[in-house]
Amino acid sequence: MHIHILGICGTFMGGLAVLAREAGHKVTGCDAGVYPPMSDQLRALGIELMEGFDADQCSLHPDMFVVGNVVSRTRLADGCPKFPLMEAILDSGLPYTSGPQWLFEHILQGRHVIAIAGTHGKTTTTAMTSWILEQAGLHPGFLVGGVPLNFGVSARSGQGQTFVIEADEYDTAYFDKRSKFVHYRPRTLVLNNLEFDHADIFDDLAAIERQFHHLVRTVPSTGRIIVNGLEESLTRVLHMGCWSEVCSFGAAVSNLTARGSAHDFDVLQQGEVVAHIAWRLTGRHNQLNALAAMGAAAHVGVLLPVAALALEQFENVKRRMEVRGVVATGQGNAVITVYDDFAHHPTAIRTTLDGLRSTLKDGERILAVFEPRSNTMKLGAMSTLLPWSLASADLAFCHSTALGWDANAALAPMGLCATVCPDIETLVAQVCRAAKAGDHIVCMSNGSFGNVHALLLQLL
């Protein structure tokens, strides 16, 4: 089959392209902004890429157009369609489908799907689960919304029966407003946590809870749901109806719990110590991610001690507290460390910074550098939570471009500890002026952030 992917350079659609190519399909694709590293990865697999969404791409005559959710029926100010290729597909009656639908029909169907859902930690927990299965000899397929350092790729078909997938609650396509994850039909489902997010498509938390329950409805009676017992929102989801076995983690009365610090802890099953994990990851959130991954792996037969040994070798995911560089300061062994992190939701920002704070020595400072880039944050739906999310930072620097709300007002409770900068150049200059030996500079965004990490390292 020849598929042509609209929006191929997105994380999900790029992963789908890799899987399709590995499965023997001919793959071409288009996007706005076809540039490295995704373009290099795809072209290395023999995938032809095209810039833009021109209607003349119909002349490729693929068997199926696979449409990413970047595509819409939007028209520009001059009345021309923003995506003329999509209009041509519709006008000509050509076959098209969504990415999640194609993925289920051609890659996932017939496999034991392990889906990892939740507001936070999906990427990390999907990577953890995949690595556990790999170390256990199950050779899983996976599709991760990032690049797990243990594998070096975000997707692969795998040789075994299991397939681990990051299950996103964002909508599927402009013509299918259901969450992506309802297409995956998991036999093992992780519900990691659930908070309000995606204010551009969901009115409130209850609307997201309904989508999560649609996912729960797809799990067979012989399946298993691994649920965070600390989350009241997930309790409400399961109370809407549950037809599968439930394994809880996190809470004191859960099936799986942890005892000890987030980087060195015992794993308890029904109150009995069954494994121990000492690793490089920080934060209570990663401890919970570990329990979720172990619970998922256990459903396909991986013993908890085996899973724990694998997690001790887990190297995390790119852009999850990834050290981008260390700058010598000339003051003994003191350095300035620059990190890159994907955190953008207030809760994720707080847990990331809290985790780092727990590992630092007295006198070491955290400089939080962030941009409210997600659709939810741009709308200002959670701007009042920013001072709370940044509580562990000594200084905070906000990139305020393209916001529909007043960042200075939102950060006013932090007083002189917060600085708002209108552009990257000013931001970098302000951070470098404030930085001193022993500081930890954490750059947080779900985008490229104007390559701020490299600019900081260069100027420092």
In contact, 438 and 366? CB cutoff 8 Å: no
CATH no. for residue 46? Answer: 3.40.50.720
Query: Does residue 96 belong to any structural domain of this protein?
Result: yes
pLDDT, tens only, 361-408: 888 999 999 998 777 777 777 888 999 999 999 999 999 887 888 989
Q: From CA 361, how far away is CA 191, in angstroms rounded?
A: 34
Q: From CA 17, how far away is CA 4, in angstroms rounded?
A: 9
* Token reading at 72: 């819409």
Query: Does residue 317 belong to any structural domain of this protein?
Result: no
Average pLDDT over residues 211-221: 97
103 pLDDT band, cuts 50/70/90, is very high
The verdict on 53 and 19 lying in the same domain is yes
- Nearest in space to 189 (alpha carbons), one of 240, 234, 232: 234
The verdict on 268 and 339 lying in the same domain is no
Q: What is the pLDDT of residue 114?
A: 98
The verdict on 193 and 296 lying in the same domain is yes
Query: Does residue 58 belong to any structural domain of this protein?
Result: yes
Q: Which of 312, 332, 357 is the last residue of a domain?
A: 312
- Nearest in space to 114 (alpha carbons), one of 208, 38, 191: 191
Query: Does residue 137 belong to any structural domain of this protein?
Result: yes
Q: Which of 266, 290, 312 is the last residue of a domain?
A: 312
Q: Angle at Cα 67 formed by Cα 379 and Cα 177, nearest 5°?
A: 50
- pLDDT at position 145 over 90: no
pLDDT, tens only, 6-65: 999 888 999 999 999 999 999 999 999 776 667 777 888 889 999 999 999 999 999 999
* Token reading at 251: 């809470």
Domain count, the chain: 3
The verdict on 135 and 214 lying in the same domain is yes
Q: How many CB atoms lie within 10 A of CB 44?
A: 8
Q: From CA 296, how far away is CA 285, in angstroms rounded?
A: 17
Q: From CA 372, how far away is CA 382, in angstroms rounded?
A: 10
The verdict on 121 and 84 lying in the same domain is no
Query: Does residue 55 belong to any structural domain of this protein?
Result: yes
Average pLDDT over residues 191-196: 91
The verdict on 194 and 241 lying in the same domain is yes
Q: Which of 246, 279, 312 is the last residue of a domain?
A: 312
* Token reading at 260: 């000890």
The residue segments making up the domain with residue 258 are 110-312
The verdict on 255 and 341 lying in the same domain is no
